[in-house]
Structure 1
């Protein structure tokens, strides 16, 4: 594996993150609950991780600002335009996933 200097590492990771955000933006039909069921993270998780990373760098960023950076618009607007109500099947799958996590001691 090629050795990267810290600047290259940061630039590559940042580019990959921007690509992930674009991919999620291009696939708005993929609902956050689906992401949570399948991958145990969603767009809101990314916003929380961004907010935590900003704090580590000494940068103030609140949750609303972080979500706007992830969603590309205010969350309330994205929610109104793109978020569908969770189906009973999605809720059941999410609850089953959460129960599995608790059983493994991860919650």
Structure 2
């Protein structure tokens, strides 16, 4: 039973990553404002969990796993500058 639960959780994460990949127009700052996490958070969580299980991966490898491409490529092709409205909403959320 436990293996099936782990498999379901892993499949759910893969669906989330696929959903995010199919919706690149959703900016990380929007995710942070609405859900208090973003793709970068996912990559940090993945890195931590991988390292705790003895997998030797770098921050860049973790990001590439989440973004499905090098982070620098994703950033150059899909990340827009934050608008003043986004920045204001982000700051308001932090308070």
- Name segments (4+ residues, structure 1) moved above 4 Å: none
1:18 matched to 2:7: no
Number of residues of Structure 1 aligned to a counterpart in Structure 2: 95
Matched, 1:79 2:75: yes
Q: For residues 67 and 11 of structure 2, what CA distance do their matches in structure 1 show?
A: 17
Q: Which has the higher contact order (CA 8 A, sep 6+)?
A: 2
Q: TM-score scaled by structure 2?
A: 0.98
Residues in 2 aligned to 1:6 and 1:82: alpha-carbon distance in whole angstroms: 38
2:43 to 44, 47, 50: 47
For each residue in 1:7-26, what CA deviation from the matched residue of structure 2 results, as whole angstroms up to 9, or x when unmatched?
10110000000000000000
Cα distance in 1 for residues equivalent to 2:18 and 2:56:
24
- Note the residue ranges of structure 1 that are not aligned, 5 or more in a row: 100-107
Shift, 1:58, TM fit: 1.0
**How do 1:1-107 and structure 2 match up within 5 A?**
5-99=1-95
Normalization by structure 1: what TM-score?
Answer: 0.87
User: RMSD in angstroms over aligned alpha carbons?
Assistant: 0.5
